[in-house]
Amino acid sequence: MTTTMNTSARAAAELLVLLGGPANIAANADYCATRLRITVRDLHAVRGHALHDHRIVLSIIKRPNSEIDIVVGHCTAATLSLLINVAVAEALAEAEQE
């Protein structure tokens, strides 16, 4: 894995924890040019201040229906979306096996 991918994978894992973990993600993470769009099950499980202070986060926009836009900058959102979706899918697969 390249240094950029390692950094992105680490950031995605950190953001996932701050969003309340894989079980708190209600739908696949989506993205636009500069934003990571995530719908969570429980907004109270999101560590908003820590999320806002994360080194990769430029700003956070809370939308209706428990949707959060995390502004991360150009080209970063697509990578983070993919990595978070993979992590959530892996966590769900592990939970089904238990």
Q: What is the pLDDT of residue 3?
A: 65
Helix (H, G, I), strand (E, B) or coil at 35: strand
Distances (CA, A) of 46 to 2, 64, 74, 94, 97: 30, 15, 24, 22, 26
Q: Which positions ≥6 away from 31 have C-beta within 8 Å?
A: 37, 77, 78, 80, 81
C-beta separation of 92 from 17 below 8 A: no
| DSSP code, position 54 | S
Share of the chain above pLDDT 90, in %: 46
**What mean pLDDT is predicted for residues 33-62?**
93
Average pLDDT, the chain: 88
Question: CA 80 to CA 10: how far, in whole Å?
Answer: 10
Q: How many residues does the chain have?
A: 98
pTM here? 0.82
Which pLDDT belongs to residue 22? 92
Q: Is the pLDDT of residue 76 over 70?
A: yes
Q: Is the pLDDT of residue 31 over 90?
A: no
